[in-house]
Chains A and B, each alone.
Chain A
Protein backbone atom coordinates (compact mmCIF):
# COMPACT_ATOMS: atom_id res chain seq x y z
CA UNK A 1 0.00 0.00 0.00
CA UNK A 2 1.09 3.52 -0.71
CA UNK A 3 2.74 5.09 2.28
CA UNK A 4 2.54 8.81 3.03
CA UNK A 5 0.03 9.27 0.22
CA UNK A 6 -1.96 11.70 2.34
CA UNK A 7 -0.04 14.06 4.56
CA UNK A 8 -0.33 17.19 6.61
CA UNK A 9 2.11 19.66 5.11
CA UNK A 10 3.09 22.80 6.99
CA UNK A 11 3.70 25.93 4.93
CA UNK A 12 7.16 27.31 5.71
CA UNK A 13 7.06 30.15 3.19
CA UNK A 14 4.68 31.54 0.57
CA UNK A 15 6.08 34.42 -1.47
CA UNK A 16 5.24 36.21 -4.67
CA UNK A 17 8.04 35.62 -7.17
CA UNK A 18 6.49 37.12 -10.33
CA UNK A 19 3.23 38.58 -11.57
CA UNK A 20 0.39 36.53 -9.99
CA UNK A 21 2.94 33.78 -9.35
CA UNK A 22 3.81 32.39 -5.94
CA UNK A 23 6.33 29.98 -4.53
CA UNK A 24 5.11 27.91 -1.59
CA UNK A 25 7.39 25.74 0.48
CA UNK A 26 6.18 22.96 2.76
CA UNK A 27 7.64 21.02 5.59
CA UNK A 28 6.54 17.44 4.95
CA UNK A 29 7.96 14.09 3.88
CA UNK A 30 8.98 15.01 0.34
CA UNK A 31 10.36 11.58 -0.48
CA UNK A 32 7.09 10.39 -2.00
CA UNK A 33 8.01 12.58 -4.98
CA UNK A 34 10.35 10.26 -6.81
CA UNK A 35 10.40 11.81 -10.28
CA UNK A 36 10.42 15.39 -11.56
CA UNK A 37 7.04 16.19 -13.12
CA UNK A 38 4.98 14.52 -10.40
CA UNK A 39 2.39 16.59 -8.58
CA UNK A 40 0.58 17.06 -5.30
CA UNK A 41 -3.14 17.66 -4.79
CA UNK A 42 -3.92 20.25 -2.16
CA UNK A 43 -7.04 20.48 -0.03
CA UNK A 44 -7.72 24.22 0.09
CA UNK A 45 -10.14 24.88 2.98
CA UNK A 46 -13.47 26.17 1.72
CA UNK A 47 -13.17 24.56 -1.72
CA UNK A 48 -14.55 21.15 -2.56
CA UNK A 49 -12.02 19.88 -5.08
CA UNK A 50 -8.33 19.72 -4.38
CA UNK A 51 -5.88 21.85 -6.39
CA UNK A 52 -3.37 19.75 -8.37
CA UNK A 53 -0.02 21.56 -8.54
CA UNK A 54 3.20 20.20 -9.99
CA UNK A 55 6.23 19.95 -7.78
CA UNK A 56 9.08 22.36 -8.44
CA UNK A 57 11.53 20.74 -6.05
CA UNK A 58 11.53 18.02 -3.40
CA UNK A 59 14.39 17.26 -1.05
CA UNK A 60 14.01 15.32 2.20
CA UNK A 61 11.52 17.41 4.18
CA UNK A 62 11.20 20.40 1.85
CA UNK A 63 8.66 20.38 -0.93
CA UNK A 64 8.41 23.42 -3.20
CA UNK A 65 5.61 24.35 -5.58
CA UNK A 66 5.15 27.34 -7.82
CA UNK A 67 1.59 28.25 -8.70
CA UNK A 68 -0.24 30.95 -10.55
CA UNK A 69 -3.33 32.65 -9.18
CA UNK A 70 -5.93 31.73 -11.77
CA UNK A 71 -9.10 31.50 -9.69
CA UNK A 72 -10.53 31.69 -6.21
CA UNK A 73 -8.79 28.57 -4.89
CA UNK A 74 -5.29 29.66 -5.88
CA UNK A 75 -6.13 33.17 -4.70
CA UNK A 76 -6.95 31.73 -1.27
CA UNK A 77 -3.63 29.84 -1.37
CA UNK A 78 -1.74 33.04 -2.10
CA UNK A 79 -3.06 34.54 1.14
CA UNK A 80 -1.89 31.69 3.37
CA UNK A 81 0.85 32.37 5.83
CA UNK A 82 3.75 30.30 7.12
CA UNK A 83 2.67 27.82 9.77
CA UNK A 84 -0.62 26.98 8.03
CA UNK A 85 -1.27 23.24 7.80
CA UNK A 86 -2.63 21.82 4.57
CA UNK A 87 -3.79 18.32 3.75
CA UNK A 88 -2.07 17.08 0.61
CA UNK A 89 -2.04 13.96 -1.52
CA UNK A 90 1.50 13.46 -2.74
CA UNK A 91 3.60 11.38 -5.09
CA UNK A 92 0.91 11.68 -7.76
CA UNK A 93 1.40 10.87 -11.42
CA UNK A 94 4.35 9.74 -13.46
CA UNK A 95 7.12 12.22 -14.13
CA UNK A 96 9.90 12.83 -16.63
CA UNK A 97 12.57 10.22 -17.28
CA UNK A 98 15.96 11.96 -16.99
CA UNK A 99 17.73 8.83 -18.20
CA UNK A 100 16.36 9.29 -21.69
CA UNK A 101 18.52 12.34 -22.48
CA UNK A 102 21.99 11.55 -23.70
CA UNK A 103 24.80 14.09 -23.18
CA UNK A 104 22.56 17.13 -23.45
CA UNK A 105 18.90 17.75 -22.63
CA UNK A 106 16.55 20.49 -23.79
CA UNK A 107 14.00 21.69 -21.25
CA UNK A 108 11.13 23.81 -22.52
CA UNK A 109 8.75 25.54 -20.15
CA UNK A 110 5.88 27.91 -20.77
CA UNK A 111 4.49 30.08 -17.97
CA UNK A 112 3.71 28.02 -14.90
CA UNK A 113 4.95 24.96 -16.78
CA UNK A 114 8.47 26.10 -15.98
CA UNK A 115 8.13 24.95 -12.37
CA UNK A 116 8.51 21.14 -12.66
CA UNK A 117 11.47 21.56 -15.02
CA UNK A 118 13.56 22.87 -12.15
CA UNK A 119 13.63 19.57 -10.31
CA UNK A 120 14.30 17.86 -13.63
CA UNK A 121 17.23 20.17 -14.41
CA UNK A 122 18.71 19.46 -10.99
CA UNK A 123 18.44 15.73 -11.56
CA UNK A 124 20.00 16.00 -15.03
CA UNK A 125 22.89 18.05 -13.66
CA UNK A 126 23.50 15.39 -11.05
CA UNK A 127 23.57 12.84 -13.82
CA UNK A 128 26.37 14.88 -15.40
CA UNK A 129 24.28 15.99 -18.35
CA UNK A 130 24.35 19.40 -19.98
CA UNK A 131 21.04 21.20 -19.80
CA UNK A 132 19.59 23.81 -22.15
CA UNK A 133 16.59 25.56 -20.67
CA UNK A 134 14.16 27.61 -22.73
CA UNK A 135 11.63 29.53 -20.70
CA UNK A 136 8.68 31.18 -22.40
CA UNK A 137 6.60 33.96 -20.87
CA UNK A 138 4.20 36.59 -22.14
CA UNK A 139 6.04 39.50 -20.62
CA UNK A 140 8.95 40.48 -18.36
CA UNK A 141 6.87 40.68 -15.15
CA UNK A 142 5.97 37.00 -15.39
CA UNK A 143 9.51 35.64 -15.51
CA UNK A 144 10.68 33.41 -12.69
CA UNK A 145 13.43 30.84 -11.96
CA UNK A 146 15.86 32.19 -14.59
CA UNK A 147 18.57 32.81 -12.00
CA UNK A 148 17.86 29.56 -10.16
CA UNK A 149 18.39 27.56 -13.33
CA UNK A 150 21.68 29.36 -13.98
CA UNK A 151 22.76 28.74 -10.40
CA UNK A 152 22.54 25.02 -11.07
CA UNK A 153 25.90 25.45 -12.81
CA UNK A 154 27.37 25.56 -9.31
CA UNK A 155 26.10 22.05 -8.67
CA UNK A 156 28.79 20.88 -11.07
CA UNK A 157 31.50 22.01 -8.70
CA UNK A 158 32.13 18.48 -7.54
CA UNK A 159 31.85 17.23 -10.99
CA UNK A 160 34.52 18.36 -13.28
CA UNK A 161 37.60 17.23 -11.54
CA UNK A 162 37.21 14.03 -9.67
CA UNK A 163 33.54 13.82 -10.67
CA UNK A 164 34.00 10.30 -11.83
CA UNK A 165 35.93 9.25 -8.78
CA UNK A 166 33.41 10.73 -6.45
CA UNK A 167 30.72 8.69 -8.11
CA UNK A 168 32.60 5.48 -7.96
CA UNK A 169 33.55 6.16 -4.37
CA UNK A 170 29.84 6.42 -3.74
CA UNK A 171 30.30 9.60 -1.79
CA UNK A 172 28.19 12.02 -3.69
CA UNK A 173 26.10 10.15 -6.17
CA UNK A 174 24.06 7.12 -5.51
CA UNK A 175 23.65 4.27 -7.95
CA UNK A 176 20.56 5.78 -9.58
CA UNK A 177 22.16 9.09 -10.38
CA UNK A 178 25.00 7.80 -12.46
CA UNK A 179 26.87 10.57 -14.29
CA UNK A 180 26.99 10.59 -18.05
CA UNK A 181 30.25 8.81 -18.64
CA UNK A 182 30.79 9.92 -22.25
CA UNK A 183 30.68 13.50 -21.21
CA UNK A 184 33.06 13.03 -18.32
CA UNK A 185 35.53 11.15 -20.43
CA UNK A 186 35.65 14.10 -22.78
CA UNK A 187 36.77 16.01 -19.73
CA UNK A 188 34.45 18.90 -20.40
CA UNK A 189 32.34 20.59 -17.80
CA UNK A 190 28.67 20.13 -18.44
CA UNK A 191 26.68 23.33 -18.30
CA UNK A 192 23.27 24.79 -17.80
CA UNK A 193 22.36 27.38 -20.42
CA UNK A 194 19.18 29.41 -20.07
CA UNK A 195 17.27 31.30 -22.76
CA UNK A 196 14.19 33.36 -21.98
CA UNK A 197 11.57 34.39 -24.50
CA UNK A 198 8.78 36.91 -24.10
CA UNK A 199 5.90 37.29 -26.50
CA UNK A 200 6.03 41.08 -26.25
CA UNK A 201 9.83 41.27 -26.43
CA UNK A 202 10.14 43.01 -23.07
CA UNK A 203 12.93 40.61 -22.05
CA UNK A 204 15.20 38.09 -23.77
CA UNK A 205 14.29 36.77 -27.17
CA UNK A 206 11.08 38.21 -28.63
CA UNK A 207 8.65 35.52 -29.62
CA UNK A 208 7.91 31.97 -28.58
CA UNK A 209 10.02 29.12 -27.24
CA UNK A 210 10.14 27.63 -30.72
CA UNK A 211 11.81 30.83 -32.00
CA UNK A 212 14.55 30.47 -29.38
CA UNK A 213 15.04 26.80 -30.22
CA UNK A 214 15.39 27.64 -33.91
CA UNK A 215 18.13 30.13 -33.04
CA UNK A 216 19.96 27.83 -30.65
CA UNK A 217 20.51 24.76 -32.72
CA UNK A 218 22.05 24.55 -36.13
CA UNK A 219 21.85 20.81 -36.34
CA UNK A 220 20.32 18.14 -34.19
CA UNK A 221 18.06 19.14 -31.34
CA UNK A 222 18.62 17.22 -28.09
CA UNK A 223 16.02 15.01 -26.41
CA UNK A 224 13.53 17.42 -24.93
CA UNK A 225 11.23 17.71 -21.91
CA UNK A 226 8.36 20.18 -22.06
CA UNK A 227 5.64 21.53 -19.81
CA UNK A 228 3.37 24.41 -20.68
CA UNK A 229 0.21 25.48 -22.47
CA UNK A 230 -1.27 23.19 -25.11
CA UNK A 231 -0.44 25.50 -28.08
CA UNK A 232 3.21 25.47 -26.99
CA UNK A 233 3.30 21.67 -26.77
CA UNK A 234 1.68 21.37 -30.19
CA UNK A 235 4.13 23.84 -31.72
CA UNK A 236 7.03 21.89 -30.23
CA UNK A 237 5.81 18.61 -31.64
CA UNK A 238 5.43 20.26 -35.02
CA UNK A 239 8.82 21.96 -35.13
CA UNK A 240 11.07 19.77 -32.97
CA UNK A 241 9.33 16.45 -33.47
CA UNK A 242 8.59 13.52 -31.22
CA UNK A 243 12.00 13.12 -29.59
CA UNK A 244 10.90 14.13 -26.15
CA UNK A 245 8.36 14.07 -23.35
CA UNK A 246 5.35 16.31 -22.79
CA UNK A 247 3.61 17.10 -19.54
CA UNK A 248 -0.10 17.57 -20.11
CA UNK A 249 -2.58 19.53 -18.08
CA UNK A 250 -6.28 18.80 -17.60
CA UNK A 251 -9.00 19.66 -15.14
CA UNK A 252 -8.97 16.89 -12.57
CA UNK A 253 -11.51 15.54 -10.13
CA UNK A 254 -9.41 13.33 -7.90
CA UNK A 255 -5.82 13.33 -9.18
CA UNK A 256 -5.25 9.63 -8.51
CA UNK A 257 -7.12 7.82 -11.25
CA UNK A 258 -10.54 7.22 -9.70
CA UNK A 259 -12.91 9.59 -11.48
CA UNK A 260 -11.64 9.39 -15.08
CA UNK A 261 -12.29 13.13 -15.44
CA UNK A 262 -8.96 13.95 -17.09
CA UNK A 263 -8.80 11.37 -19.87
CA UNK A 264 -6.72 11.86 -22.98
CA UNK A 265 -6.64 9.98 -26.26
CA UNK A 266 -3.19 8.57 -26.99
CA UNK A 267 -1.74 6.30 -29.65
CA UNK A 268 -1.80 3.62 -26.93
CA UNK A 269 -5.45 4.06 -26.06
CA UNK A 270 -7.37 6.14 -23.55
CA UNK A 271 -5.18 7.29 -20.68
CA UNK A 272 -5.68 9.32 -17.52
CA UNK A 273 -3.58 12.48 -17.35
CA UNK A 274 -3.41 12.22 -13.55
CA UNK A 275 -2.43 8.58 -13.12
CA UNK A 276 -0.90 7.50 -16.45
CA UNK A 277 0.69 10.94 -17.00
CA UNK A 278 0.92 13.84 -16.68
CA UNK A 279 4.14 13.17 -18.61
CA UNK A 280 3.81 11.19 -21.83
CA UNK A 281 6.23 10.40 -24.66
CA UNK A 282 5.66 13.12 -27.28
CA UNK A 283 4.97 10.49 -29.94
CA UNK A 284 1.96 9.15 -28.00
CA UNK A 285 -0.03 12.32 -27.40
CA UNK A 286 -1.58 15.25 -29.28
CA UNK A 287 -1.99 13.03 -32.31
CA UNK A 288 -5.15 12.43 -34.28
CA UNK A 289 -6.38 9.14 -32.86
Chain B
Protein backbone atom coordinates (compact mmCIF):
# COMPACT_ATOMS: atom_id res chain seq x y z
CA UNK B 1 0.00 0.00 0.00
CA UNK B 2 2.89 2.39 0.77
CA UNK B 3 4.15 2.43 -2.82
CA UNK B 4 0.65 2.95 -4.19
CA UNK B 5 0.14 5.82 -1.75
CA UNK B 6 3.42 7.38 -2.90
CA UNK B 7 2.20 7.27 -6.50
CA UNK B 8 -1.11 8.86 -5.40
CA UNK B 9 0.82 11.55 -3.51
CA UNK B 10 3.15 12.34 -6.41
CA UNK B 11 0.20 12.73 -8.80
CA UNK B 12 -1.62 15.04 -6.43
CA UNK B 13 1.62 16.90 -5.77
CA UNK B 14 2.17 17.46 -9.48
CA UNK B 15 -1.14 19.33 -9.68
CA UNK B 16 -0.23 21.37 -6.59
CA UNK B 17 3.10 22.24 -8.25
CA UNK B 18 1.49 23.63 -11.40
CA UNK B 19 -1.02 25.65 -9.44
CA UNK B 20 1.60 26.90 -6.97
CA UNK B 21 3.70 28.07 -9.88
CA UNK B 22 0.68 29.85 -11.28
CA UNK B 23 0.23 31.73 -7.99
CA UNK B 24 3.96 32.37 -7.77
CA UNK B 25 4.27 34.08 -11.17
CA UNK B 26 1.77 36.83 -10.29
CA UNK B 27 3.02 37.02 -6.71
CA UNK B 28 6.56 37.39 -7.97
CA UNK B 29 5.85 40.28 -10.33
CA UNK B 30 3.23 42.19 -8.40
CA UNK B 31 3.53 41.02 -4.84
CA UNK B 32 -0.18 40.20 -4.69
CA UNK B 33 -1.98 36.91 -4.34
CA UNK B 34 -4.32 36.48 -7.32
CA UNK B 35 -7.12 34.68 -5.49
CA UNK B 36 -8.95 33.97 -8.76
CA UNK B 37 -6.27 31.46 -9.82
CA UNK B 38 -8.03 28.58 -8.04
CA UNK B 39 -11.12 29.27 -10.14
CA UNK B 40 -9.09 29.78 -13.34
CA UNK B 41 -7.87 26.24 -12.67
CA UNK B 42 -11.48 25.08 -12.45
CA UNK B 43 -12.55 27.04 -15.56
CA UNK B 44 -9.58 25.66 -17.52
CA UNK B 45 -10.68 22.19 -16.49
CA UNK B 46 -14.20 22.82 -17.74
CA UNK B 47 -12.96 24.16 -21.09
CA UNK B 48 -10.78 21.08 -21.57
CA UNK B 49 -13.53 18.77 -20.37
CA UNK B 50 -16.02 20.31 -22.81
CA UNK B 51 -13.60 19.84 -25.71
CA UNK B 52 -12.87 16.22 -24.75
CA UNK B 53 -16.60 15.55 -24.44
CA UNK B 54 -17.00 17.01 -27.95
CA UNK B 55 -14.46 14.40 -29.18
CA UNK B 56 -11.54 16.74 -29.70
CA UNK B 57 -8.12 15.10 -29.15
CA UNK B 58 -6.28 15.53 -25.84
CA UNK B 59 -3.73 18.12 -27.11
CA UNK B 60 -6.56 20.33 -28.40
CA UNK B 61 -8.35 20.03 -25.05
CA UNK B 62 -5.18 20.98 -23.17
CA UNK B 63 -4.57 23.96 -25.46
CA UNK B 64 -8.24 24.97 -25.17
CA UNK B 65 -8.10 24.81 -21.37
CA UNK B 66 -4.88 26.83 -21.32
CA UNK B 67 -6.21 29.44 -23.76
CA UNK B 68 -9.57 29.78 -22.00
CA UNK B 69 -8.01 30.26 -18.58
CA UNK B 70 -5.34 32.61 -20.00
CA UNK B 71 -7.98 34.82 -21.62
CA UNK B 72 -9.99 34.89 -18.38
CA UNK B 73 -6.80 35.84 -16.51
CA UNK B 74 -6.15 38.69 -18.95
CA UNK B 75 -9.69 39.97 -18.40
CA UNK B 76 -9.05 39.89 -14.65
CA UNK B 77 -5.82 41.83 -15.13
CA UNK B 78 -7.50 44.53 -17.25
CA UNK B 79 -10.61 44.94 -15.10
CA UNK B 80 -9.65 43.70 -11.66
CA UNK B 81 -6.00 44.67 -11.34
CA UNK B 82 -4.86 47.40 -13.72
CA UNK B 83 -7.34 50.12 -12.61
CA UNK B 84 -6.46 49.40 -8.96
CA UNK B 85 -2.68 49.39 -9.34
CA UNK B 86 -2.05 52.49 -7.24
CA UNK B 87 -4.22 51.30 -4.36
CA UNK B 88 -3.09 49.36 -1.27
CA UNK B 89 -2.15 45.72 -1.98
CA UNK B 90 -5.28 44.40 -0.32
CA UNK B 91 -7.58 46.16 -2.84
CA UNK B 92 -6.59 44.22 -5.99
CA UNK B 93 -6.51 41.04 -3.89
CA UNK B 94 -10.13 41.60 -2.89
CA UNK B 95 -10.92 42.34 -6.52
CA UNK B 96 -9.48 38.96 -7.57
CA UNK B 97 -11.49 37.33 -4.76
CA UNK B 98 -14.61 38.87 -6.33
CA UNK B 99 -13.61 37.43 -9.71
CA UNK B 100 -13.14 33.99 -8.17
CA UNK B 101 -16.72 34.03 -6.85
CA UNK B 102 -17.99 35.25 -10.23
CA UNK B 103 -16.12 32.47 -12.06
CA UNK B 104 -17.57 29.83 -9.73
CA UNK B 105 -21.06 31.21 -10.33
CA UNK B 106 -20.51 31.27 -14.09
CA UNK B 107 -19.43 27.61 -14.00
CA UNK B 108 -22.42 26.61 -11.84
CA UNK B 109 -24.84 28.42 -14.14
CA UNK B 110 -23.27 27.21 -17.36
CA UNK B 111 -22.27 23.63 -16.54
CA UNK B 112 -24.46 22.97 -13.46
CA UNK B 113 -23.45 21.99 -9.92
CA UNK B 114 -23.53 18.24 -10.57
CA UNK B 115 -20.14 16.71 -11.35
CA UNK B 116 -19.55 16.28 -15.08
CA UNK B 117 -18.24 12.81 -15.78
CA UNK B 118 -16.16 11.56 -18.68
CA UNK B 119 -17.07 8.22 -20.23
CA UNK B 120 -15.01 5.24 -19.02
CA UNK B 121 -12.77 5.11 -22.07
CA UNK B 122 -11.16 8.39 -20.98
CA UNK B 123 -10.03 6.89 -17.67
CA UNK B 124 -7.12 5.49 -19.69
CA UNK B 125 -5.06 2.35 -19.45
CA UNK B 126 -3.74 1.08 -16.11
CA UNK B 127 -0.23 -0.35 -15.73
CA UNK B 128 0.69 -2.73 -12.92
CA UNK B 129 4.25 -2.61 -11.63
CA UNK B 130 4.49 -5.07 -8.75
CA UNK B 131 2.30 -3.74 -5.95
CA UNK B 132 1.68 -0.45 -7.74
CA UNK B 133 -1.11 0.39 -10.14
CA UNK B 134 -0.35 3.44 -12.30
CA UNK B 135 -2.86 4.99 -14.64
CA UNK B 136 -1.94 6.41 -18.02
CA UNK B 137 -3.32 9.79 -16.93
CA UNK B 138 -1.15 9.75 -13.78
CA UNK B 139 1.94 9.38 -15.97
CA UNK B 140 0.73 12.21 -18.22
CA UNK B 141 0.06 14.47 -15.21
CA UNK B 142 3.52 13.92 -13.69
CA UNK B 143 5.30 14.11 -17.07
CA UNK B 144 3.47 17.27 -18.14
CA UNK B 145 4.28 18.94 -14.81
CA UNK B 146 8.01 18.29 -15.14
CA UNK B 147 8.02 19.57 -18.73
CA UNK B 148 5.99 22.68 -17.90
CA UNK B 149 8.07 23.60 -14.83
CA UNK B 150 11.24 23.21 -16.91
CA UNK B 151 9.78 25.37 -19.68
CA UNK B 152 8.72 28.09 -17.24
CA UNK B 153 12.12 28.00 -15.53
CA UNK B 154 13.86 28.30 -18.91
CA UNK B 155 11.56 31.15 -19.99
CA UNK B 156 12.08 33.12 -16.80
CA UNK B 157 15.81 32.51 -16.42
CA UNK B 158 17.12 32.34 -19.99
CA UNK B 159 14.90 34.39 -22.33
CA UNK B 160 14.52 38.11 -22.97
CA UNK B 161 10.93 38.01 -21.73
CA UNK B 162 12.07 36.29 -18.57
CA UNK B 163 14.79 38.89 -17.97
CA UNK B 164 12.21 41.64 -18.49
CA UNK B 165 9.85 39.91 -16.04
CA UNK B 166 12.58 39.74 -13.44
CA UNK B 167 13.42 43.39 -14.06
CA UNK B 168 9.80 44.41 -13.46
CA UNK B 169 9.71 42.26 -10.35
CA UNK B 170 12.89 43.92 -9.08
CA UNK B 171 11.86 47.50 -9.76
CA UNK B 172 8.95 48.45 -11.96
CA UNK B 173 9.92 52.11 -12.41
CA UNK B 174 13.56 51.44 -13.24
CA UNK B 175 12.61 48.74 -15.72
CA UNK B 176 10.32 51.23 -17.47
CA UNK B 177 13.19 53.71 -17.72
CA UNK B 178 15.19 50.92 -19.36
CA UNK B 179 12.51 50.52 -22.03
CA UNK B 180 10.61 47.55 -20.63
CA UNK B 181 6.83 47.77 -21.05
CA UNK B 182 5.77 46.93 -17.50
CA UNK B 183 2.06 47.02 -18.33
CA UNK B 184 2.44 44.56 -21.18
CA UNK B 185 4.58 42.27 -19.06
CA UNK B 186 2.07 42.34 -16.23
CA UNK B 187 -0.61 41.27 -18.70
CA UNK B 188 1.74 38.55 -19.97
CA UNK B 189 2.37 37.34 -16.38
CA UNK B 190 -1.37 37.08 -15.75
CA UNK B 191 -1.86 35.19 -19.04
CA UNK B 192 1.03 32.81 -18.31
CA UNK B 193 -0.26 32.19 -14.82
CA UNK B 194 -3.79 31.59 -16.17
CA UNK B 195 -2.49 29.19 -18.83
CA UNK B 196 -0.64 27.16 -16.18
CA UNK B 197 -3.73 27.04 -13.97
CA UNK B 198 -5.77 26.03 -17.03
CA UNK B 199 -3.51 23.13 -17.97
CA UNK B 200 -3.54 21.95 -14.34
CA UNK B 201 -7.34 22.04 -14.45
CA UNK B 202 -7.52 20.00 -17.66
CA UNK B 203 -5.05 17.43 -16.31
CA UNK B 204 -6.89 16.96 -13.01
CA UNK B 205 -10.27 16.73 -14.76
CA UNK B 206 -8.90 14.04 -17.06
CA UNK B 207 -7.13 12.19 -14.26
CA UNK B 208 -10.25 11.90 -12.11
CA UNK B 209 -12.63 11.73 -15.07
CA UNK B 210 -14.92 14.20 -13.31
CA UNK B 211 -15.10 17.90 -12.55
CA UNK B 212 -17.25 20.14 -10.34
CA UNK B 213 -17.44 23.95 -9.99
CA UNK B 214 -16.14 23.62 -6.42
CA UNK B 215 -12.85 21.83 -6.97
CA UNK B 216 -10.80 25.03 -7.11
CA UNK B 217 -11.09 26.17 -3.51
CA UNK B 218 -9.54 23.19 -1.68
CA UNK B 219 -6.78 22.57 -4.20
CA UNK B 220 -6.12 26.28 -4.57
CA UNK B 221 -5.54 26.71 -0.84
CA UNK B 222 -3.16 23.74 -0.82
CA UNK B 223 -1.30 25.27 -3.77
CA UNK B 224 -0.82 28.48 -1.79
CA UNK B 225 0.66 26.36 1.00
CA UNK B 226 2.96 24.70 -1.55
CA UNK B 227 4.07 28.11 -2.85
CA UNK B 228 4.88 29.27 0.67
CA UNK B 229 6.69 26.05 1.60
CA UNK B 230 8.68 25.92 -1.65
CA UNK B 231 9.54 29.60 -1.55
CA UNK B 232 8.06 32.28 -3.77
CA UNK B 233 11.48 33.36 -5.03
CA UNK B 234 12.38 30.10 -6.69
CA UNK B 235 10.49 28.23 -9.41
CA UNK B 236 12.08 24.91 -8.44
CA UNK B 237 10.68 25.36 -4.94
CA UNK B 238 7.21 24.47 -6.21
CA UNK B 239 8.57 21.34 -7.89
CA UNK B 240 10.01 20.24 -4.55
CA UNK B 241 7.16 21.34 -2.28
CA UNK B 242 4.27 20.13 -4.49
CA UNK B 243 5.14 16.42 -4.38
CA UNK B 244 6.27 16.81 -0.75
CA UNK B 245 2.86 18.14 0.31
CA UNK B 246 1.06 15.65 -1.93
CA UNK B 247 2.89 12.72 -0.34
CA UNK B 248 2.54 14.10 3.21
CA UNK B 249 -1.20 14.58 2.65
CA UNK B 250 -1.75 11.11 1.23
CA UNK B 251 0.36 9.37 3.90
CA UNK B 252 -1.48 11.30 6.61
CA UNK B 253 -4.79 10.01 5.28
CA UNK B 254 -3.43 6.47 4.97
CA UNK B 255 -1.63 6.17 8.30
CA UNK B 256 -2.79 9.02 10.51
CA UNK B 257 -6.45 9.42 9.63
CA UNK B 258 -8.32 11.69 7.23
CA UNK B 259 -9.46 13.95 10.03
CA UNK B 260 -5.92 15.25 10.69
CA UNK B 261 -4.99 15.72 7.01
CA UNK B 262 -5.49 19.50 6.84
CA UNK B 263 -4.02 19.97 10.30
CA UNK B 264 -0.76 18.36 9.13
CA UNK B 265 -0.57 20.16 5.76
CA UNK B 266 -1.34 23.65 7.03
CA UNK B 267 0.54 23.01 10.27
CA UNK B 268 3.60 22.24 8.13
CA UNK B 269 3.07 25.51 6.26
CA UNK B 270 2.92 27.48 9.51
CA UNK B 271 6.05 25.72 10.76
CA UNK B 272 7.92 26.66 7.58
CA UNK B 273 6.72 30.27 7.91
CA UNK B 274 8.05 30.37 11.46
CA UNK B 275 11.38 28.64 10.83
CA UNK B 276 12.17 29.62 7.25
CA UNK B 277 9.87 32.42 6.03
CA UNK B 278 11.47 32.47 2.58
CA UNK B 279 10.50 28.81 2.02
CA UNK B 280 12.61 25.69 1.48
CA UNK B 281 14.34 26.92 -1.68
CA UNK B 282 13.73 30.63 -1.21
CA UNK B 283 16.72 32.92 -1.39
CA UNK B 284 18.33 34.80 1.47
CA UNK B 285 16.63 37.88 2.87
CA UNK B 286 18.62 40.13 0.53
CA UNK B 287 17.09 38.33 -2.48
CA UNK B 288 13.54 38.78 -1.47
CA UNK B 289 12.82 41.65 -3.82
CA UNK B 290 13.48 39.33 -6.75
CA UNK B 291 10.62 36.92 -6.69
CA UNK B 292 10.55 35.41 -10.14
Q: Do A and B come from one complex?
A: no
**Which B residues are closer than 8 A to A by beta carbons?**
none
**Which A residues are closer than 8 A to B by beta carbons?**
none
